[in-house]
Amino acid sequence: MKSEGSHAAFARARQLMPGGVNSPARAFGGVGGEPIFIDHAEGAYLFDIDGQRYIDYVGSWGPMILGHAHPEVIAAVEKAAARGTSFGAPTEAESELAELIIEAVPSVEKVRLVNSGTEATMSALRLARGFTGRDVVVKFAGNYHGHVDSLLVAAGSSAATLGVPNSPGVTAGTTKDTLVLQYNDVAGLERAFDEHGKRIAAVIFEPVVGNMGCVVPTQAFLDALNGLTKRHKALLICDEVMTGFRVAYGGAQSLFGFEPDLTTLGKIVGGGLPVGAYGGRAEIMHHVLPEGDVFQAGTLSGNPLATAAGIATLRRLRDEPPYATLEERSRQLAEGLDDAATRAGIPHTVARVGSMLTLFFIDRAVVDWTVSESSDTARFAKYFWGLIERGSYMPCSQFEALFVSAAHRPEDIAATVQAAAEVLGEISAHAGGN
């Protein structure tokens, strides 16, 4: 499968933009080779600029739960565009989208729309610090919450270690109040609260992790997160940018039955256009400017085109919930990948919640970043390119979740499973069966 057009397009792009991309996740750094340039997409399929078709399991990293170019979403955006693209003044569409979010997510009584998941988490952290008057925030290794300076920290060596920057340009002062713990580590969380409890403004976490591959929280960890934050009067921020409207219409919190203090959203709430959101208890959101004094603003927040796409997407998910079908197709894919790797004799595990899942090239359950980072990424790269050659487009990193959309048909899943069986068989034969 030659991508001559992508090769030339990438050469041009690298002259113009750092790494030739506008987000590093797209650069194929985790699998080597060059990214594929997309011409258009429809339903479950991407079409590259050389005319190759791929069954898409990235879905723009989550937003495209209905599939690409859904007629209702396209029509809503076209209609909105004809009426003007941005006014810098309030519109009823913003209230419509806010109402859909509030009705869907039990813990959200008031919400503020922003333009990305990063803006949502950055603002939620500022609000938590403003509301509590405290400085320290807790995050977990392998959880990604966008490129928020104070969250770009290396994993601390122990519960007592406050963060050090893991990116140039992030100052020690920015990360000195960030504590990085291991996901699913209840004892570590307890020690952190013992040591820093009165200074902790918030704990932010992914309720189903997508950003170290798919990792599921234990019930004990969820109980500790809720119990310890309440006991120490810290806020629990549930980052549902990826899981919101993905694993259930009400997000992971509705699936697992807990109510965080603040929730961040993105991806699906914009239906592929730039929308992020943060919301929660009215008494907390009351502190956001101009009602309160925690500053946050944005020229294009609640943009008419983005809200139109978000409204059309959420209405469709509410009125014709695809979750039973997504569960069936995703289970078919997960079992097929698991079976293919088992038949090939390749050490692996599969983790899944709803229509987000990961095939890990490691021989044990992935419970946190220390396990996930031990996965065989070289083998993952061979698997990735083998599937590309056979027309299935997986996330270009072992440390990402794949997504199934409502547009994926049983025959698409079967084709991908067949391709995986061939690729994994070749990998195994080449490696002498281990």
Which spans of this chain sit near ligand KE4 (rule: CB under 6 A)?
Answer: 23, 25, 61, 116-118, 121, 144-146, 206, 210-211, 239, 241-242, 266, 276, 400
Angle at which helix 92-104 crosses helix 304-319, to 10 degrees, equals 40
Q: Of 23 and 434, which has the nearer Cβ to ligand KE4? A: 23
Q: Minimum CB separation from ligand KE4 for residue 241, in Å?
A: 3
Active site residue 183: no
Q: Of 23 and 299, which has the nearer Cβ to ligand KE4? A: 23
Q: Minimum CB separation from ligand KE4 for residue 84, in Å?
A: 24
Do the beta carbons of residue 105 and residue 253 sit within 8 Å? yes
Instruction: Catalytic residue, from 48, 239, 338, 376: name it.
Output: 239
Q: Minimum CB separation from ligand KE4 for residue 148, in Å?
A: 9
Q: Of 203 and 346, which has the nearer Cβ to ligand KE4? A: 203
| 351 token code pair | 């983790």
Q: Of 107 and 232, which has the nearer Cβ to ligand KE4? A: 107
Q: Minimum CB separation from ligand KE4 for residue 122, in Å?
A: 9
Active site residue 45: no
| Residue nearest ligand KE4 (C-beta atom) | 117
Q: Minimum CB separation from ligand KE4 for residue 83, in Å?
A: 26
Q: Which among 91, 76, 42, 104 is positioned nearest to 303, based on CA atoms?
A: 91
104 phi/psi in degrees, rounded to 5:
-85, -40
Active site residue 144: yes
How far apart (Å, rounded) are the C-alpha atoms in residues 256 and 246?
14
Instruction: Catalytic residue, from 56, 267, 338, 412: name it.
Output: 267
Calculate the CA 57 to chain-centre distance.
Answer: 13
Beta strand 392-393 with 53-56 is parallel
Q: Of 157 and 299, which has the nearer Cβ to ligand KE4? A: 299
Phi-psi region for residue 392, left (φ > 0), alpha (ψ -120 to 50) or beta? beta
Instruction: Catalytic residue, from 144, 249, 323, 383: name it.
Output: 144
* Catalytic site positions: 144, 239, 267
